[in-house]
Amino acid sequence: MVNNQFALILGGTTGLGFASVKKLAAEGFNIIVVHRTRKADLVQFQEFINTTNVTVIEFATDALNPEKREDCIQHLVETLPKHSVKLMLHSIAKGNLNPLVNSEKTLSSKDYQLTINAMGTSLLDWSQAMLNANLFSDHAKILAFTSEGNTKVIPNYGAVSAAKVVLESIIKQMAVEFAPFQITANAIQAGVTDTTSLRMIPGSDKLKSLALQRNPNNRLTTPEDVANAVYLLSKDEANWITGNIIKVDGGEHLR
């Protein structure tokens, strides 16, 4: 191992999660990744594993399954020193992208529940499990990705929007209730970023076009922009930053 400092990324093989994995590894973090990415889409992640100098622990399993989560936690308890996870990043992107009406596939309350669990309350499940297993280090950081859909109505985004609101509420609550354990919790609101997850949203090309018009830097946010913010928030200098929704968008939200 390079050191005894680990970062756990839930959903870290593509998009913002993978960019964060690469940045954190470059800065000396050992990496733990939990994912369910298809093998055909793991080429870049496998190349990373083959070339990095840090320790990588990979769980190709369902992070949303309570039994699978417990298996992962137990493996980490048996493998890692106590209090060695400095950062946990929630980057799970799994949800239903359908309208409420006028479609063969409309959102149901069950769709909302599944999406809120995947992209919202699963953060709490993992945070509590990690805390109870004594895996978090002193001044550990919990981070999660949210989006502008937390306050704006985006077509077909209703279930994900609800999940992001729940996620942000959990972040704020954890910032207070995890403070006695010297653990901070923050959400990162990235600008529109051209990732696989974005392309799954119907009308994503229009979202990108509008973002380019709004952004004072005349470009979209990149995964690397977001990964840099993840790394900054992992540092001890960020110990007094907690309970925030931090915008990483080059000023896009100002217009």
The domain that holds 160 is classified in CATH as 3.40.50.720
The answer for residues whose C-beta is within 8 angstroms of residue 88's C-beta and 6 or more apart is: 7, 8, 9, 10, 126, 127, 130, 136, 140, 141, 142, 143
Sort 121 into a burial class: Cβ within 10 Å, 0-12 / 13-18 / 19+.
Answer: middle
Q: Is 254 inside a domain boundary? A: no
Q: Report pLDDT digits (tens) over 152-205.
A: 888 889 999 999 999 999 999 999 999 999 999 999 999 998 888 888 888 788
Region 90-95 average pLDDT = 93
Domain of 28 in residue numbering reads as 6-249
Specify which residues 142 forms β-bridges with.
88, 185
Q: Is 1 inside a domain boundary? A: no
Q: Is 149 inside a domain boundary? A: yes
Total domains, the chain: 1
No. of helices (H) and no. of strands (E), the chain:
9, 7
Name the strand (E) or helix (H) holding 90: strand 85-90
Q: Is 76 inside a domain boundary? A: yes
For the sheet containing 6-10, what is the strand order?
56-60, 30-35, 6-10, 85-90, 136-146, 183-190, 245-248
**19 φ, ψ to 5°?**
-60, -40
CB atoms within 10 A of CB 195: 21
Q: Is 255 inside a domain boundary? A: no
Q: Is 79 inside a domain boundary? A: yes
Q: What is the pTM of this model?
A: 0.94
Q: Is 244 inside a domain boundary? A: yes
Q: Report pLDDT digits (tens) over 196-240.
A: 888 888 878 888 888 899 999 999 999 999 999 999 999 999 999
Sort 122 into a burial class: Cβ within 10 Å, 0-12 / 13-18 / 19+.
Answer: buried
Q: Is 241 inside a domain boundary? A: yes
